[in-house]
Amino acid sequence: MTTNSIIYFVTAATFMLCALVLAVQQRWVLVSAPNNWAEDINSVVSVVGFMAIAAITLTLHHARAARHHRMEASTDALTGLLNRRGLSEEFDARSPAASFTIIMFDLDRFKLINDNMGHAHGDEVLKRFADTLRTHIRATDRGARLGGEEFCAVLAGRELHEAAQVAERIRLAFQELALNADPAGKTATVSAGIAIAGKDEPFSSVLSRADAALYKAKQAGRNQVHIAPFRLVA
């Protein structure tokens, strides 16, 4: 866009130059096309400039379309969070030395919600949880829907006790929201598993440990937060 603006400015300047030459020559009335060095410069700059503007505009269009397609491919259409592919693309290539904590979430007994109240209601429950997740994480954190009723939050630079507090706030907020939306209680609660990255531990390993902690939370009765053991350094 900056390059386009410069080209427009230079082209406009050549038109001003043509007007200045005509003013110096005192040619106030034109009976034929002017023929002077300023007109020659203007002709060349106009042709080259407009061709360059067309090429840059086309390139910008293709770049925006490609960026849009990449966003669609990495974003969950229902909730607007990252999907599993987007999460992997963003974090798998990061340095294992980076400090982060992963919270895995799973909506409890969600299949019963779909079976008893329909998939449309189930989708609304998923969107409500996605909104709850977004509300309780920072702009530097990332939220994702990994598929079905499974969600994930990646917290940058958080201590384990801070991540546990975040997970608990999300659990309680979603429980309150769900009860307000459905006083009969026929809605999902959420279980969570937390794992903090060990030294030089890859993202996929931390994700797997958080998932194992989530499974333990489900086994222990659901609607609770479970913390994975620290990874032992070899």
What is the pLDDT, as a whole number, of residue 103?
97
CA distance 165 to 74: 28
CA distance 129 to 27: 73
Query: Are 175 and 207 within 8 A, CB to CB?
Result: no
Q: Is the pTM of this model over 0.75?
A: no
CA distance 19 to 67: 43
**Is 201 assigned a catalytic role?**
no
Q: What is the DSSP string of 199-226?
A: TT--HHHHHHHHHHHHHHHHHTTSSSEE
Query: Are 195 and 100 within 8 A, CB to CB?
Result: no
Q: What is the DSSP string of 71-84?
A: HHHHB-TTT-SB-H
What is the pLDDT, as a whole number, of residue 234?
47
For Cα atoms 116, 117, 119, give the angle at the middle one, nearest 5 degrees: 110
Joined together, the tokens standing for residue 71 give: 């966003």
What is the pLDDT, as a whole number, of residue 35?
81
Task: Output the tens digit of pLDDT for each of the chain's 234 residues.
Answer: 788 788 888 888 888 888 888 888 887 777 777 888 888 888 888 888 888 888 887 777 777 765 665 665 689 999 999 999 999 888 876 655 568 999 999 999 898 888 888 889 889 999 999 999 999 999 999 999 999 999 999 999 888 999 999 999 999 999 888 766 665 555 679 999 999 998 888 899 999 999 999 999 999 999 999 999 986 554
What is the pLDDT, as a whole number, of residue 208?
94
Question: Which of 149, 162, 176, 201 is the catalytic position?
Answer: 149
